[in-house]
Amino acid sequence: MPSTAESGCDGQVWFITGASRGMGREFATAALEAGHAVVATGREIDAVAEAVGESEDLLVAELDVTEPEDAESAAQAALDRFGRIDVLVNNAGVSYKGFFEEMEIAEIRHQLEVNLFGAMRVTRAVLPVMRDQRSGHVVSISSGAGLRGFGFSSAYAASKHGLEGWMDALHDEIEPFGIDTTVVNPGWFRTTLHSDRSMPFTDPAIDDYDERRAEQIEWWGKQGGQQPNDPAELADALVEIAAEDDPPRRFVAGEDAVELAEGKAAGLREQVDAYRDRSTSMRYDT
């Protein structure tokens, strides 16, 4: 199997899901510009190729993260082409919008299939390569919704909270093999997340939600193109982090995300302190 050096690249080999648009495209472009090889994956390879462009250090592979066979074949294609995988970026995602009570179970299930189980499937396909290498870096793109749930995004928050809990535990399991993990919590970045394909709305079902639903739909409809943060800057930061000897287990990206994380931490502290005496009085008297 050819090494990265034999393919003309002396850098890392990146494996990126959801590379046809948005953050995934920016991650692939930034990694290539930094001298790394990239395996850019997506459900439609023509769309990925058009988004990322051409490079001798680029492999475009078909990958629907809900299909286990796709994950296995894409990982094998990466190994056949470059001989290793150094950085996995679990980026593919979808964000269903709607109140929990109105959402169909099938919608909730698909939300989890893409954002949580999809990342798990791809990681399971890549981990044997990284274990053999005794090196690697698993990066999963979470959200501000992984830190705090918001109404009208309950299924999305469930997928991101699940992703973060899984990544916390996974770190302990794979660190002995020399594999690092990083959870990224982006704030509002100007991507295609607000397209119909990336952000589907559930159908109305309960009259009691009509007024608030209309407000939410109107608000979300105005957010496209108004996000304050530049995804190219996040991509550059991720390239820098992946090059570190001791990368962070969490990277909070964007001033708005930092404010959210600090508020979450302060709120947890306040709630712990409010009932500290009662909480710490539950041991057996022996």
Q: Which residues are catalytic?
A: 142, 156, 160
58, containing H or E segment: strand 58-62
What would the two tokens of residue 250 be? Answer: 């969490």
206-243: burial string, b at 16+ Cβ within 10 Å, e else: eeebeeebeebeeebeeeeeebebebbebbbebbebbe
**CB-based contacts of 136, cutoff 8 Å, min separation 6:** 85, 86, 87, 88, 126, 127, 129, 130, 177, 178, 179, 180
Q: What is the number of H-type helices and E-type strands within the chain?
A: 10, 7
Using N-to-C axis directions, what is the helix angle for 154-174 and 105-112, rounded to 10°?
30
Which of 199, 218, 202, 217 has its CA nearest to residue 99? Answer: 202
d(CA 176, CA 127): 13
d(CA 38, CA 52): 10
Q: Are 98 and 202 in contact (CB under 8 A)?
A: yes
CA distances to 51, 74, 75, 214 from 7, in Å: 22, 18, 17, 53
Q: Are 23 and 191 in contact (CB under 8 A)?
A: yes
